[in-house]
Amino acid sequence: MESMDFRSLRTRGALPDPKRVHTQSIIEELWEPYVDSVTTLLGQLEESAMALEAGQSVQNNCAIIRRVLHSIKGDSGMSGLMDVYTLCHEAESAFEEIQKMSDRADMVLRVKDWIESVIGFVQQKGNSASESSETKAPRKIKTLVIDDDPVCRQRVKMILLEFCDCSFADDGKSGYAMFLRAFEDGDPYQLVTLDIQMPDMDGHETLSAIRLLERQNGVEGLDGVKIIMITSQHHSDHIFSAFRGGCEAYVIKTNLGEKLPEEMANLGLLKMKPNYSIR
């Protein structure tokens, strides 16, 4: 996929046609929360750009613009709208290179208008992510969150709320019991997020128990549940042990908001459906 060229931000030249935006990689389950978030951010961007153009609170408004551009870039990358990601990345650089504040403000307003045009185009597009989400309600991902830290459980819930149906366990033993019941009922979990450090039955032991259950019932390879380890441990021995035990991904708790949805997208979880039952 060829990236759009946004270098004209620095010269006031014409930007690419918003209708040429690539929509194929948009993650449908993230589209509505993306629009809600970015619409709010664009309002903040316009307000600060107008104030900057008027010479008001220059330092503060420059800081807001930098933060908002970075936030839109992150949301766009996570949601699969890579042309907007590229635009924001280019705008971040251009904002630092342009010296005159009124020119900075003009550039930012052009960015804001272009992103709004893209969102409007995608909303109207017959095979767009938004239309798909309106005409059919995709089943949420059946997810089991196993973590003894109530704050972390709540944080994961907030991150996954839009596209996961979450159940929670506060230790490995009860988490495995919940996984077993769902497996035996023929409605298995599609995703398990699993803390490593837990009393009685830690994450490595829980991971091993889940994989043993699957093997005993003929579930192998890609047919198994996707397991993402979520932990504060950075040590390589924990990481290697987790992957040897059969997890698909490993996320550090300090990067949850960014990395957990990213790993889910990489694993294809947002389009996955249950495809096995106990034998």
* pLDDT tens sequence across 69-98: 999 999 988 888 999 999 999 999 999 999
Q: Is the pLDDT of residue 61 over 90?
A: yes
Q: What pLDDT was estimated at residue 243?
A: 66
Comparison of pLDDT for 120 and 151, the residue scoring more: 120
Buried residues in 65-81 as b, exposed as e (16+ CB within 10 A): beebbebbbebbbbbbb
Q: Is the pLDDT of residue 60 over 60?
A: yes
Could you state, in order of their start, the residue ranges of all structural domains in the chain?
A: 7-133, 139-271
Q: What pLDDT was estimated at residue 119?
A: 94
Return d(Cα 242, Cα 235) in angstroms, integer: 11
Identify whether the C-beta of residue 171 lies closer than 8 Å to the C-beta of residue 200: yes
Q: What pLDDT was estimated at residue 128?
A: 42
Q: Is the pLDDT of residue 164 over 70?
A: yes
CATH of domain 7-133: 1.20.120.160
Q: Hey, what CATH class is 139-271 in? A: alpha beta
Whole-number CA gyration radius for the chain: 22
Q: Which of 140, 193, 139 is closest to 164 using CA atoms?
A: 140
Q: What pLDDT was estimated at residue 252?
A: 85
pLDDT interval class at 36 (50, 70, 90): very high
Comparison of pLDDT for 39 and 242, the residue scoring more: 39
